[in-house]
Amino acid sequence: MDREMIVVLDFGGQYNQLIARRVRECNVYCEVHPYNIGLDRLKEMKPKGIIFTGGPNSVYAEGAPVCEKEVFELGIPVLGICYGSQLMAHLLGGKVATAPVSEYGRTEVDVENGFAMFKGVSKKTICWMSHTDYIEQAPEGFTVTAHTPVCPVAGMENVKKGLYAVQFHPEVMHTQEGMKMLHNFVIGICGCKGDWRMDSFVETSIRAIREKVGDGRVLCALSGGVDSSVAAVLLAKAIGRQLTCVFVDHGLLRKNEGDEVEEVFGPDGPYDLNFIRVNAQERFYGKLAGVEEPERKRKIIGEEFIRVFEEEAKKIGAVDYLVQGTIYPDVIESGLGKSAVIKSHHNVGGLPDCVEFKEIIEPLRLLFKDEVRKAGLELGIPKKLVYRQPFPGPGLGIRIIGEVTAEKVRMVQDADAIYRDEIAKAGLDKDLGQYFAALTNMRSVGVMGDERTYDYAVALRAVNTSDFMTAEAAQIPWDVLGTVTSRIVNEVKGVNRVLFDCTGKPPGTIEFE
């Protein structure tokens, strides 16, 4: 695809994805690549601008990530952020040193707003700093464009060479005018038009899929989640009945969710595709009987899912392509990130080695989640589905602590439906990252009417998060919690107590298992 692009070179900073997202918010396509991608590859990509991310190192540290100095001679504007700014200064003959006072967090920065990077920015502006080293002296040919009382070069530029740098992080929310600065760089300095839009993405993708698939047959595992639904509709629009979607209902979905998926994708829905719903509830409950350990449950659900899918695929026969709903953060993370495994995340997308096919199609692999949603709306997928909150592959299996039974599934489904209903009625649903009911393994004594009860406790969870890696417990108004509680204990048989989880992540996780 021929389009204008900004390349973010990743030097190990925590915010590399965020930089790319912010650039895309300027309607400019942006990709993240490792810092050592090489000049030839960079030239091939013909970016309109390059951004160096921050990173945890000092430019003097052994093995610190360094790119070729010639990158500054390509005639492509470069913006260095934090470590990226120090590296620029270091490679071009400026002086980087350990700052006498480190700056962390919100910092007031004095900017010279006559300069291109700071057009329209207030003279004193709050920025997010996080550094131990700093640029003590800008390289020759550079003008200092911003400073703080302790940081002499918080911004610098060499207009002739198209080189710009800021010590702080314009991409994070706490930098109050950061978006303006990035916009100045991407649109003002790099001269991007800002024509990366979802309607053109959808159109171009449909054309590309048709060209690639020809008259081949395509198989898609549909989970009902946002990513696989958008991928499926994109394929359906491109190739219609050459596509078969298999939807495995493992009996661990939210209340009525299986039917809702069928309404949209089934024969009475708006799309022309082959839809197969496999009702495998009993099979999954059978496999899960007596199993209490969370990772074991995840494994069983994952394996059984693959088995069911494989059986269906065999009935369909050989296919040419398999569709996966991989999105850009997965691509970046699998290429660059390394982190400890806290939970093995079974994703219903990941199943290729059990099915015979020639190639995988990942139509969303360049999109961030919010862009997937925009593409979904562009494709006419119902809002309810497009804005569905994340739901784990193993579903309610990991929201029922301990053994999973059909009876417990019913309790948690009913409690969760009430909770979601009341949250929506209170108008809170758009502001929460994720919220759901889980069934604890605790039974306790209660009294209902004149009867003693010995029933389960439901736990309510609601978190605010932007990346799902960390989260804080959301504050739900007491009256909403009160209504939810009385409805759950009155309407859900087998539940006599409702608890609210106030734990953040860390130390908790979002799900209970």
**Is there a catalytic annotation at residue 183?**
no
Contact criterion met (CB below 8 Å) for 157 and 80: no
The residue range among 183-191, 273-281, 385-393, 403-411 that interacts with ligand XMP, by the rule CB under 6 A, is: 385-393
Catalytic residue among 4, 103, 157, 171: 171
Measured CA distances, 73 to 70, 77, 161, 352 (Å): 5, 9, 8, 44
Choice from 148, 184, 244, 347 touching ligand XMP (CB under 6 A): 347
- Smallest distance from the beta carbon of 476 to ligand XMP, in angstroms? 18
Q: Looking at 26, 82, 127, 192, which residue is catalytic?
A: 82
Which of 170, 394, 412, 459: binder of ligand XMP (CB under 6 A)?
Answer: 394
Q: Which stretch binds ligand XMP (CB under 6 A): 64-72, 237-245, 257-265, 386-394?
A: 386-394
How far apart are alpha carbons 355 and 319 in whole angstroms? 8
Nearer to ligand XMP, 269 or 390 (CB): 390
The residue (of 30 and 471) whose beta carbon lies closer to ligand XMP is: 471
Residue 169 known to be catalytic: yes
User: Which residue's CB is nearer to ligand XMP, number 127 or number 261?
Assistant: 261
Residues 462-491 that bind ligand XMP (CB under 6 A): 468
| Both structure tokens of 473 | 């417990």
- Taking CB under 6 A as the criterion, the residue among 54, 55, 77, 393 binding ligand XMP is 393
Does position 511 interact with ligand XMP (CB under 6 A)? The reply is yes
Residue spans of beta strands (DSSP E) within 347-409: 359-361
Stretch that binds ligand XMP, among 155-163, 199-207, 229-237, 387-395 (CB under 6 A): 387-395
* Alpha carbons 170 and 180: distance in angstroms, whole number: 9
- Residue 427's SS3 state is coil
Total residues contacting ligand XMP by CB under 6 A comes to 15
Q: List, in sequence order, every residue forming a beta bridge with 453; answer none if it has no partner.
A: 446
Q: Is 509 in the site for ligand XMP (CB under 6 A)?
A: yes
8 Å CB contact between 299 and 344:
yes
Interface with ligand XMP includes 397 (CB under 6 A)? no
How far lies 476's CA from each of 153, 190, 245, in Å? Answer: 44, 44, 38
Tell me how far the alpha carbon of residue 274 is from its chain's centroid: 29
DSSP assignment of 243-290: EEEEEEE-S-SSTTHHHHHHHHHSTTSS--SEEEEEE-HHHHHHHHTT
Instruction: Tell me how far, at minimum, the Cβ of 436 lies from ligand XMP, in Å.
Output: 8
Query: Residue 212 corresponds to which tokens in the numbers above?
Result: 């690639």
**Which residue from 392, 400, 417, 474 is in contact with ligand XMP, where contact means CB under 6 A?**
392
Restricting to residues 193-252, which ones interact with ligand XMP according to CB under 6 A? none
* Residue 345 is a binding residue for ligand XMP (CB under 6 A): yes
Is there binding between residue 510 and ligand XMP (CB under 6 A)?
yes
Helix (H) or strand (E) run with residue 500 in it? strand 495-500
Q: Which stretch binds ligand XMP (CB under 6 A): 16-24, 53-61, 166-174, 391-399?
A: 391-399
* Minimum CB–partner distance for residue 345 and ligand XMP (Å): 4
The residue annotated as part of the active site, out of 33, 90, 131, 169, is 169
Structure tokens that stand for 372 in this block: 């997937």
Q: Is 410 in the site for ligand XMP (CB under 6 A)?
A: no
C-alpha angle 386-387-392 in degrees, rounded to nearest 5: 95
Phi (first) and psi of residue 456, to 5 degrees = -80, 160
Q: From the CB of residue 501, how many other CB atoms can be counted at a distance below 10 Å?
A: 16
Question: In the complex, what is the shortest distance from the CB of residue 50 to ligand XMP, in angstroms, rounded to a whole number?
Answer: 32
Furthest CA-CA distance within the chain: 85
Segment lying near ligand XMP (by CB under 6 A), choices 62-70, 80-88, 375-383, 505-513: 505-513
φ, ψ for residue 146, nearest 5 deg: -160, 150
Q: Which of 161, 343, 410, 443 binds ligand XMP (CB under 6 A)?
A: 343
The distance of closest approach from Cβ of residue 507 to ligand XMP in the complex, given in angstroms and rounded to an integer, is 11
Active-site residue flag, 90? no
Please, which residues have CB within 8 angstroms of residue 403's CB and are 6 or more apart in sequence? 288, 289, 290, 291, 292
Candidates 57, 228, 434, 440: give the one binding ligand XMP (CB under 6 A): 434
Binding site for ligand XMP (CB under 6 A): 298, 343, 345-347, 390, 392-394, 434, 468, 505, 509-511
The residues annotated with a catalytic role in the active site are 82, 169, 171
